[in-house]
Amino acid sequence: MKTLKYIALGVILTSLAFSSFSFSPSKKSFAQAETVTFCETYTQQEVISKLDQGDQFFTWVQLEDTVPESSRIGRCHQDNLEDLWNYVQSEAFRAKVQEDLIIVEGAEARNQLISLYAIKKSASKDMFPSGRDLEEVSVSLDGDEENYMLLFSFSESGVEKWASMTRLNKGRDIAILFNGKVISAPRVQEEIKDGKCAISGKFTESDIKEMKAILEN
């Protein structure tokens, strides 16, 4: 398992650990198309505070190792995902939570437990950037430590979208999805104006090239 450090304009955003670059779509996932999407999120606390302690949601969702300010709201065993999806789409659940809330799987999996994230459904598809707004993706070495780093930048239209998204979400997670699953959920520290970003960590050359392929998809 590796831990991503998401760095932009010298600003370090919170990291997300995940174990695999294998992203297979769930039939109940947020988006079926194989695209990269950037989404606003809710915090665990904002979602959980809407539910009673005995809500059926907690039958399938484990909250340990999560923090209230994170968009990762818990984990669900893969065998229980179908029951969970049926419940979170039910009128009983939808009546309690935020109208634009969508529960999404993460790419991270440990001991058959799938991480779950609280995503906001965007009011406008063109308001925030997507993979179509990425202009350049490249791989570099991080200093003298021979750690691979993924660099990416947005096109002219994407720069403004990314600046707007980071400006509106200071102190909150932004989820990066591929094929309907969260692959990273960095926390925004300040507005990022020039659209130049990087992901670094203890990655092999193979790992970082797979990430590059995802962003170039």
Where are the domains positioned within the chain?
2-22+125-216, 42-120
Measured at the CA of 130, the angle between CA 134 and CA 128, to 5 degrees, comes to 115
Residue 141, beta-bridge partner list:
148
Picking from 104, 100, 103, 102, the residue whose alpha carbon sits closest to that of residue 123 is 100
Task: Judge whether residue 99 has pLDDT over 90.
Answer: yes
Amino acid at 156: E
Q: What CATH class has 2-22+125-216?
A: alpha beta
Pairwise pLDDT comparison (146 vs 72), residue with the higher score: 72
Q: So what's the pLDDT on residue 124?
A: 66
**pLDDT confidence of 140, banded at 50, 70, 90?**
confident
39-78 residue pLDDT tens = 999 999 999 999 999 999 999 999 977 789 999 999 999 9
Say how many C-beta atoms besides its own lie within 10 A of residue 103's C-beta: 25
Distance of CA 217 to the CA centre of its chain: 17
Tokens found for residue 54? 């005995």
Least confident of 14-18, 121-125, 150-154, 183-187: 14-18
Which one-letter DSSP state was computed for residue 191? -
10 alpha-carbon distance from chain centroid:
20
**Intra-chain end-to-end CA distance of the chain, in Å:** 24
